[in-house]
Amino acid sequence: MSILPSSRHPSHFTSKTPRGPTMTFTDKWGEGAIFDWYREQKNKTVMVTRLQIRIDNGKPPHRFVLAYLEDGTVIRLDRRPRKSNSGTLVFQKIRAADDWLILTHNEVSTLNMSTICEIDMPMPPNTDLVLIISVCFALARDKEARIYDLLKYNCYFFSWTVLLVVSRRALPFSIPSPDEVVSTLSHEFDALSHSITKRAVKGVLGIVCNIITAVRGVTAGSSVKQGFSPVERLIWGLPTRLMHFLIHQALRLQLYLGLENEIDRKIKEGLTDVCRSILNGVWENRITIEEQVQQRLWIKELIQDFEPTLRTELSLMIWEAKFDILASTLEPLHERADDAEALCTPSRMSRLKSRLFGDKQMIQVWNKALSAGVTMSREAAQGKAREFHANSSIPPGSITPSYYIELHNTMFDLTYELARTASLNIAKGVVEQTQAGHKNPKRAKMWEEIWRIYDKAWDAARNRTRESVVQLHEAGIEETVALVTQHLVATIGDIEKKGLRVSVQNGKKEHMLISVNGLQEYLSQSIDLAYAAVPHNIPIIHQTMARVWEESRTKYQSVE
């Protein structure tokens, strides 16, 4: 589809229907011939039941609007240049003639047979014709949109703007309840929870691997190695990446084997709770938000209104939520490790890992230290993100990406420090309970060396670990915000619940749209395609349509 002119078939001569009178307006709402006719028509009906955009067979095609009233009256609206000299249209900008014409029954029948109905939109009850007039009024008042420009403000622009603005007004956006949005997210959360689970596990295991690597890097080596089992000594001597891989796989095996479904389930529950809490906040402030929402023409622009709030709230809640989920998952896994007998008779999983990675005592230390660190981090995270946010005193509209990085870095440092202390204390306790029956006499000295350099190793691992964990947090937040925002906006634009479906004829295919979002997406794609030869005009078209919406909605009032 192209809007480039043809010397043989100029678009403004393609319609065979006689031209109607041009709509003329003053600066005052309610003045002009079209308003006078509207007042007379009010004695019959001014309610619109259907809007159509039709296309004739010109080269390029000419688009126009048909408005069907309750009493059977059909009004045609066209945009053409006021002058008909096609040779000057590409190079000159002249005033547009936006015409209106009441069609006879025969003219309607002829158009139905000779033109294609691109969009057929039934209108909700009580859609007043004055809505259409208000769009034409706004177009006439806009210094750019009132000029006929073959490559910009042409019949395509006029027809799509009328339909877009009228549908926006007739089908107002309203903030959905949290339950409405969450119900549409349930299935999507299955995939999202799996993605977040992998990131969370990757972050936790990355911390463990980095600390173990740091221990190897800061220890003198001999006293530690002498206390190892043969398998541990072998792993300790491997290249760092290979050692990382093996340790990571061992811990991942424990977390996932038999627990993957449980982790995913809890992540999904946590996501649902967090998102519901955030959406409750949106719902409670809906009166304030509605005012901002009503200014938007394009539903996709609502993302700009909702995304900052959702992102901030999720960033403040994500640390507590993740540690809650991880801690509740790990606690049952290690519930038997609180007594000496359990420590000396490890689980089947620990026996499997010990065969692969060495001494059972080391496995028990890993298990308990990891659980204690996560549990302490959960306690440390409680309320701290909101405390940081409150102390920052940054207005919502001024929050930058660097702010979120600073927030996550602060939360990481806080939880990392307390996890260090908790994991060290619990690890010492495990060693004390299990050391008596250990066969290697040099094992005790190994642990003494590890305790000596423990803090130094944690410090060495901090920066590398912080960067990876913060990146994982950011990725999870971005994915979640995008999904929730998308469904929130889609729920706002749902028109199927109003019993409406929009028919769209695209080439030879006809399909139905059940949302304002779908209709606007179709129009947006049509604009991209129609103006492909002049792509720099596409954002201008969107901006002008938004201006027309603003003028129409602010000037619109009933006509007496």
The number of distinct structural domains making up the chain is 2
Give the separation between CA 197 and CA 209, rounded to whole angstroms: 18
Q: Are residues 229 and 349 in the same domain?
A: yes
Whether residue 497 has pLDDT greater than 70 = no
Q: Please check whether residue 97 lies inside any domain of the structure.
A: yes
| Three-class SS state of 9 | coil
Whole-number CA gyration radius for the chain = 34
- Residue 36, amino acid: D
Residue 276 lies in a domain: yes
Residue 472 in any domain: the answer is: yes
Is the same domain home to 136 and 184? no
Range of the domain at 394: 178-491
Establish if 93 belongs to a structural domain.
yes
Write down which residue in 467, 491, 515 finishes a domain. Answer: 491
Residue 342 has pLDDT above 60, yes or no: no
Predicted local distance difference test score (pLDDT) of residue 18: 66
379 in the same domain as 232: yes
- 388 or 325: whose pLDDT is higher? 388
What digits encode the pLDDT tens for the residues 18-54?
678 999 999 899 999 999 999 998 888 999 999 999 9
pLDDT tens digits, residue range 368-380? Answer: 888 888 888 888 8
Q: Are residues 484 and 527 in the same domain?
A: no
Q: Which of 436, 457, 491 is the last residue of a domain?
A: 491
pLDDT at 16: 55
Say which range, 21-35, 67-81, 447-461, has the weakest mean pLDDT: 447-461
- Residue 160 is predicted with a pLDDT of 97
Q: Is the pLDDT of residue 326 over 90?
A: no
Query: CA–CA separation, 431 vs 454, rounded Å?
Result: 14
Q: Which of 124-128, 195-199, 552-556 has the lowest mean pLDDT?
A: 195-199
pLDDT tens for 227-263 read 777 777 777 777 878 877 777 777 666 655 556 677 7
Residue 138 has pLDDT above 80, yes or no: yes
The predicted pLDDT at position 8 comes to: 31
For residues 426-455, give the mean pLDDT.
83
Last residue of a domain, one of 465, 491, 517: 491
Confidence of residue 396 (pLDDT cuts 50, 70, 90): low
Is the pLDDT reported for residue 209 higher than 60?
A: yes
Q: Could you write out the DSSP letters of every residue in 265-286?
A: HHHHHHHHHHHHHHHHHHHHTH
Predicted TM-score (pTM) of this structure:
0.74
Quick one: pLDDT at residue 340? Answer: 40
Is the same domain home to 219 and 136?
no
Query: 137 near 58, Cβ under 8 Å?
Result: no
Contact 64, 77 (CB under 8 A): yes
Tell me if 6 is assigned to some domain: no
pLDDT for position 9: 35
185 and 230 belong to one structural domain: yes
pLDDT for 278 equals 84
How far apart, in Å, are the Cα atoms of 44 and each of 38, 129, 176, 442? 10, 12, 37, 102
Residue 280: inside a domain = yes
Q: Are residues 130 and 185 in the same domain?
A: no
Residue 7 within a domain: no
Does position 14 have pLDDT exceeding 60, yes or no?
Answer: no
